[in-house]
Structure 1
Amino acid sequence: MALEMRERCERCETTHLPVDAPARICTYECTFCVPCADSMSDTCPNCGGELVARPRRAV
């Protein structure tokens, strides 16, 4: 099962996040850009889980 590589930050919704861009995800695959994740202290606002670096997929 592959991760869903979402291309938009769920907080600011304006950041384009291609599969090779740095992003943060939780275990439910909620996706945030790095500046938004940093401002939320790497805590997912949806589930309260930890936001970690999203693995990069080869294009």
Structure 2
Amino acid sequence: MLELRPCCECCGTDLPPDSEAARICSYECTFCAGCAEATLAGRCPIAAASWSAARSARRRGC
């Protein structure tokens, strides 16, 4: 299971555990939907992969 961080790694926005705005890649990079879609153009800068909604991820420290 992927581990979701509690905040966006780009802008620092809080991402509550039940947030629909969290995006996570296969390397567990966590971003808010705004940064994932607009700032990062839908691609993770580390994994160079597309985002997944983070509904099934666990939480971890920011």
TM-score tier after normalising by the smaller chain length: 0.7 to 0.9
Higher Cα Rg, which structure: 1
Point out where structure 2 has 5 or more consecutive residues left out of the alignment.
Answer: 58-62
Matched, 1:44 2:38: no
Higher relative contact order (CA 8 A, sep 6+): 2
Which of 18, 21, 33 aligns to 1:20? It is: 18
State whether residues 19 and 56 of structure 1, in contact with CA within 8 Å, keep that contact through their aligned partners in structure 2.
no
- Aligned CA RMSD, in angstroms, stands at 1.5
TM-score, normalised via structure 1 length: 0.79
Code of the residue aligned with 1:17 in structure 2: it is L
Identity %: 45
Which has a greater percent of strand?
2
TM-score, normalised via structure 2 length: 0.75
Point out where structure 1 has 5 or more consecutive residues left out of the alignment.
Answer: none
